Amino acid sequence: MKDEFTESGVGLASKCEASHFCHFYESESELLATVASYLKEGLDSGQFCIWVLPEPLTPSEALQAASEVIPDIQQHQAAGDIKIMSHKECYLREDRFDPDAMIYYWTSEVDQALANGYPSVRIAGDVGWLPDDLWESFVEYETSIGIALADLPLTALCTYPLGTCNGNDLVDVIATHEFALAKLKGKLEVVATTPRRKTGAEIEQQNLELERRVFERTVEFAKANEELRNEISRRADAEAALKKQSAVLQEIFEHLPVIIRLSESDGTFSLVNHAWEESYGWSTEELCNNHKEVFSQIYPDPAQFQRVQNFIKDATGQWQDFKARRKDGRGIDTSWAVVGLSDGRSIGIGQDVTERRRAEEALREAEQKYRELFENAKDAIYVHDLEGRYTSVNPAAEELTGYPRDEILSMTFLDLVAPEYRNEVRDNLDKKLQAEGETSYEIEIIGKGGQRVPIEVNSRLIRKNGVAIGVQGTARDITERRRAEEALRGYSRQLIQAQEEERQRIARELHDQIGQILTAAQFTLHSVQRLCANTEAAASADDGIRVLDEALDQVRDLSLDLRPSLLDDLGLVPALRWYADRLARRTGLRPEIHSDLPHADVRFQRDVETACFRIAQEALTNVARHAQAMHVSVHLGMDEANLCLSVKDNGVGFDPNRQRQSVRGTPTLGFQGMKERAKAVGGSLWIVAGPSLGTQVNAKFPIRG
């Protein structure tokens, strides 16, 4: 945007000493570039600036766009060097347009700026908001403002969207400004100038009525020329102005980026502009010399040809679309409006809308594909506003909830979500509003028949111009998945139970059978030792007794590892204290056991005690092997419905979000096994860890009965 203007652009305002000029623009980006450059020139020279924004641009958007050209515009605004306002705040005070009040307003602004030490004032105001019924009043205002403020240190740039101006409007606008700017061949140029008005109060008063009368005679393009020619015969002093006006119109006619053609009363084309030649490929001479032949090639279909002829003849001023063919055979889409003149001729204004039509068609195709996906998706798809009210749902949503679409669109998500999940839904909406990204969670909804349906929700914000306006998401029925997970937990529970029973059986056999056999062998060796005193056989017996002692210790340890009898006989707390002492003897790391249970011998369901003990055992084993910890503690407690376990160490920790292979080789299957054990009895397990922050394993187990 910074490079769009040269000395032939907005900078001419200062070189020509112009105080009131206009700019015709085609796009918002062109408008912003022009105004930003214009305002920068004023701010750099110490002027007080006022910017009346085009619709629907907001002050924050305007500041962001202008900052590309004026990096310090926010500092200028904070210092009070520039005022940014909407057209309603400026032109429609008290909800109406009052030309006299506007002239007083601008005079007051200039007086205030001078009182505040600014040398002059620079204004940029957009007129795209102007409705048709205010056009004549606003043109009178433009005429008056140029005279009323001529002696003041004020420069005003009026910006007009080219797409909403017809030929008559262009004449009106140019007649009330000192010169006009428009983009020609990618470069901003002066396309029209009018003589600078004298500024003396006496001369202004004398010429005011004359300028208004000239304005009234430029309402239509051809009618303006006719009335000006009549005026020439009565007013010789207006001849120079009329010639200048004609030159301006011709310049505009040739360089405006719209197609313009003039038709005679018999339907033949007498004049076309350069844009017409570029759009259709024929030259003006070819068209004027062989109008019918060229026209029939542009519209080869007889029905289309006749439709165009009737459209030109009717000259209603309404816009219509036509498909045409260029000289090279390529098809184009055009949009035309034709206005009849008082002498029987007509003027047509058109645009090549081929690219726009292609973009619209591509958009329609994309919308159709989205609609097909939306309507045929197996998952429910929905959109709701930030208040939670549904604005769009697909058929799958009707099937999921049991409600027809019209009923869902009268509801909010709180009407569907089960009461215990409503806070979770609100929390996830807050997460989306506070940070970009998608949220995924599982909840239950209540269908029309009262049935509860578990669903998985994935949703994200919908934004417009960077502002959140709603939420779009999908909801998948996970009833079957829940059943499969419950069945899997049942299988896991059965497997763990069978495993524990097998451990207990093997432990019992090791203790009762192998242990007894080894003890009997030990007694036998003691007898042999006594019989073979002071012989080599006695030494061998000693070795055998020592080996049997080690074997008995290993069998006893293996039996306890498989299923500690303390867990079955005395309960969870004594079993954990025994295991902590045993771990201390083996590794030197002595865990601290803390219990907030009502009493030491409190008992829980056998499967809950087993799961809790095994998880604590696995966690302590991991600490001893991998954590390099100096301290570890085990805490047992209860809440209203759960047995709570926590194993915390001060070791090296790990990053639980990286791979599922933990730091320093801690096995993934160990943590997964602990989670499966907790799930098997209806509990849950989670880990809090971080590099150099230690690790804390937490688990909860429901207390039943």
Distance in angstroms (rounded) separating the CA atoms of residues 548 and 296: 115
* 647 within 8 A of 634, measured Cβ to Cβ: yes
Q: Which residues, at least 6 apart from 663, have a Cβ–Cβ distance to it below 8 Å?
A: 652, 653, 654, 655, 691
CA 183 to chain centre: 33
What 105-112 contacts at long range (C-beta under 8 Å, 24+ apart), as own/partner pairs, is: 106/145, 106/149, 106/154, 107/148, 107/149, 107/152, 109/48, 109/50, 110/149, 110/152, 110/153, 110/154
Coil, strand or helix at 183: strand
Burial class (CB in 10 A: 0-12, 13-18, 19+), 492: middle
* Beta carbons of 560 and 507 less than 8 angstroms apart: yes
The beta strands (E) that lie in 297-345 are given as: 320-325, 331-340
Tell me the β-bridge partners of 51. 84, 124
Nearest to 88 by CA among 56, 132, 48, 136: 56
Burial pattern 36-48, b for ≥16 Cβ within 10 A else e, equals: bbbbbbbbeeebb
Residue from 125, 163, 105 nearest 34 by CA: 125
C-alpha to C-alpha distance for 62 and 680, rounded to whole angstroms: 60
Give the span between the Cα atoms of 212 and 195, in whole angstroms.
Answer: 16
Note whether 597 and 636 are within 8 A (CB).
yes
Alpha-carbon gap, residue 44 to 252, rounded angstroms:
32
Q: How far is CA 538 from the centre of its chain?
A: 89
Cα 215 to Cα 210, 239, 307, 459: the distances in Å are: 9, 15, 36, 59
Q: Which residue do the tokens 């709603």 mark?
A: 470
Torsion-angle region of 579 (φ positive above 0: left; ψ -120 to 50: alpha; else: beta): alpha
- Look at residue 670 in the predicted model and tell me its pLDDT: 74
Report the C-alpha gap between 651 and 695 in whole angstroms.
Answer: 7
Whether residue 56 is preceded by a cis peptide bond, meaning omega within 30 degrees of 0, is yes
**297 is written with which tokens?**
């090639």
For 343-388, write each residue's pLDDT tens digit.
888 888 888 888 888 888 888 888 888 788 888 888 889 999 989 8
DSSP 412: B
Please tell me what DSSP assigns to residue 198.
P
Tell me the C-alpha distance between 408 and 261, whole Å.
55
Closest to 474 in 3D by CA, of 380, 372, 386: 380
Q: Please report, as a single letter, which amino acid is at residue 615.
A: I
How far is the first Cα of the chain from the last one, in angstroms, to the nearest whole number? 75
Low-confidence ranges of the chain (pLDDT < 70): 1-18, 192-233, 235-239, 246, 249-250, 253, 436, 488-564, 657-669, 705
Cα–Cα distances (Å) from 382 to 26, 67, 253, 397, in that order, read 38, 38, 52, 7
Under 8 Å between Cβ of 678 and 701: yes
Q: Max CA-CA distance within the chain?
A: 158
Q: How do residues 151-173 score in pLDDT, each as one tens digit?
A: 788 999 999 998 888 877 888 88
Q: Name the residue among 670, 680, 660, 655 with its Cα closest to residue 621.
A: 670
* Predicted local distance difference test score (pLDDT) of residue 662: 44
3-state secondary structure of 339: strand
Give strand pairing partners of 159.
Answer: 23, 126
Whether 53 contacts 62, CB under 8 Å:
yes
DSSP state of 421: G
Residue whose C-alpha is closest to residue 392's, from 509, 295, 470: 470
Name the region of 345 (left: φ>0; alpha: ψ -120 to 50; beta: rest).
beta
